Amino acid sequence: MPRFLALSLKCLLTNNGKLTDDHMMIAESLNKYFLTIADNIKRVTNRHATGTDSANHTKYMNQAFIRPFPKIHLNQTMYKEIESVIGSFKPKSSNGYDEISVKILKFTAPFISSPLAYICNRAFVTGVFPTRLKYSVIKPLFKNGDKTNMSNYRPISLMTSFSKVFEKIIYIRMHRHVLNNNILAKDQYGFRSKSSTEIATYELVNEVLNALNNGMFVGGIFCDLKKAFDCVNHDILLSKLEFYGVADKAGALIKSYLADRHQRVVVNNGLRYSEWGEIKNGVPQGSILGPLLFLLYINDLPYIISNKSKPVIFADDTSIVITNPRSADYEFKASLIFKNINDWFQDNLLSLNFEKTHFIEFLTKNRQPMDIHIEDDDDRIVNTTDTKFLGLIIDNTLSWNGHVDWLMSRLASACYAIIALKSYMSQGTLTRCRGSTCMFRQGFKSSGGVRRVCFVQLHTYVITPIIIDGFAVDC
């Protein structure tokens, strides 16, 4: 499972290609990597990198929407709203560089809410976000793969508690503006209330099944972006926000929020820090405003392909289902859509990872696969029979066998650990541990095509050994 980098990291491959176990050098190397990753990706992979950063994207905005949206109004806040926002935060002990935790804010809320409301209202009037709230501590989050490889870590920002309050006040107004004007595309399922990965999965699988049942040729493009949140271009984002009505003082406030931000990386359980470095690209991961800003950054993407296909987007995970009754038209359509989305990513200074971007041709038992090659100039994506989709392994026949095999291996190791702990834990503790292993409920939510034999295997190799070993399982 991903976890914050702490004492477990013994060495890291630094920027000069050498392994080091010096925690100060590890922190400096990670900070430099996080701060320069967007420019490095753009320089290596983006054929439009030498163009004007904020010029090419405007054609898509005009294509997606008839006209710009009305301007947002930043109504002033009051001490009661500040107290309500502070009260909504979880009482965590973690803190930013100022060492003031949310717990302290909650304890002092009655005394600081009025001054905070005054400062927040001044920011609304002047369009200036407080400078000292733009410093964040970065805790690298390990994803998977080689622990010595810097690219396998994600930067998670620990903002100051005061910054969280200010961001939440701004977020409430921006989110209301987005909802009232129906700005977000319906094909975007990430970071939205009453939406989830389950709903996104259902939409994609349902689209595939309906097309197959109607005798259509069906394919899916599953995109993988390189460090999408870190590569958000500020000029393009601000231009799009202005189109969506976040203009004048509101636009200036977001510009100020993004500008002159600084970060430092912490390792060795908080004992070693890097120097402060200025952030030139991206939206902070771990912030309150970051997810909404990212959704608005890619919001026009579905509109350029929705009339030709079915996009299913969850934050930066972009998948497109392509259907057509005729084989020749189907292949042409798939290539055209790939060119369109590839151009969009290039013009918005985002980059596809072509090694992990896959094309799947979905099949019935009676249909043989076609020899399809999806490419755009020198960019070509892999034609495969299965791929990862929102935590599931989806295959070209929707059998889910690959996902079940992966799930069984995960559950088997977890259940072995539980059995090993039997002599050291009480019945109640073991039951709670066992309950945490029943994640296969999540894995099968959308798995209508799973064969009965898979459940038999799951019961035989995972559940039965636990029952035999002395305690019941009610998964």
CB-CB contact of 363 with 369 (8 Å): yes
Interior CA angle at 262 toward 118 and 229, to 5°? 100
291 lies in some domain: no
CB-CB contact of 157 with 138 (8 Å): yes
475 lies in some domain: no
Residue type, 409: S
Query: Phi and psi for 199 in degrees, rounded to 5?
Result: -65, -45
| 398, 401, 406, 408 alpha-carbon torsion, rounded to 10° | 130
What 3-state DSSP class applies to 121?
helix
Residue type, 85: V
Q: Are residues 213 and 352 in the same domain?
A: yes
Q: Are residues 315 and 266 in the same domain?
A: no
- Rounded to an integer, what distance in angstroms lies between the CA atom of residue 29 and that of residue 16? 9
CB-CB contact of 162 with 112 (8 Å): no
Q: pLDDT at position 108, please?
A: 96
Q: Are residues 87 and 220 in the same domain?
A: no
56 lies in some domain: no
Q: Are residues 97 and 202 in the same domain?
A: no
Domains contained in the chain, number: 3
191 lies in some domain: no
Q: Are residues 344 and 405 in the same domain?
A: no
Q: Are residues 311 and 218 in the same domain?
A: yes
208 lies in some domain: yes
Q: Are residues 82 and 116 in the same domain?
A: yes
Q: Classify residue 187 as exposed, middle or buried by CB count within 10 Å of its CB (0-12, 13-18, 19+).
A: buried
Helix (H) or strand (E) holding 217: strand 217-222
Look up the domain containing 91 and give its range: 3-45+71-180+234-280
**Domain-terminating residue out of 395, 419, 454:** 395
Per-residue burial over 188-206, b if 16 or more Cβ lie within 10 Å, else e, is: bbbebeeeebeebbbbbbe
Q: Are residues 208 and 98 in the same domain?
A: no
65 lies in some domain: no
Tokens of 365: 């038992």
19 lies in some domain: yes
* pTM of the predicted protein model: 0.87
Other beta carbons less than 10 A from residue 373's beta carbon:
12
CB-CB contact of 259 with 131 (8 Å): no
State how far Cα 413 lies from the chain centre: 28
- Rounded to an integer, what distance in angstroms lies between the CA atom of residue 39 and that of residue 125? 34
Q: Are residues 242 and 275 in the same domain?
A: yes
**Domain-terminating residue out of 380, 395, 410:** 395
**Domain-terminating residue out of 395, 414, 432:** 395
Q: Are residues 446 and 464 in the same domain?
A: yes
Q: What is the pLDDT of residues 30-82, one digit of tens each?
A: 999 999 999 988 877 655 544 444 568 888 998 889 888 999 999 999 999 99
Q: Are residues 377 and 417 in the same domain?
A: no
14 secondary structure, DSSP code: -
List the pLDDT tens digit at each of the 475 positions of the chain.
Answer: 344 444 356 677 666 677 888 888 888 999 999 999 999 888 776 555 444 445 688 889 988 898 889 999 999 999 999 999 999 999 988 888 999 999 999 999 999 999 999 999 999 999 999 999 999 999 988 888 888 888 888 888 899 999 999 999 999 999 999 999 999 999 999 999 888 999 999 999 999 999 999 999 999 999 999 999 999 999 999 999 999 999 999 999 999 999 999 999 998 777 788 999 999 999 998 899 999 999 999 999 999 888 889 999 999 999 999 999 998 899 999 999 999 999 999 999 999 999 999 999 999 888 888 888 888 878 889 899 999 999 899 999 998 888 888 887 777 776 777 777 777 777 677 666 666 555 444 444 444 555 555 555 555 555 555 444 544 444 4
Q: pLDDT at position 285, please?
A: 87
Q: pLDDT at position 442, please?
A: 46
CA dist 170 → 95, 97, 199, 295, 428 (Å): 21, 22, 28, 16, 45
287 lies in some domain: no
151 secondary structure, DSSP code: G
Q: Are residues 375 and 414 in the same domain?
A: no
Q: pLDDT at position 15, please?
A: 67
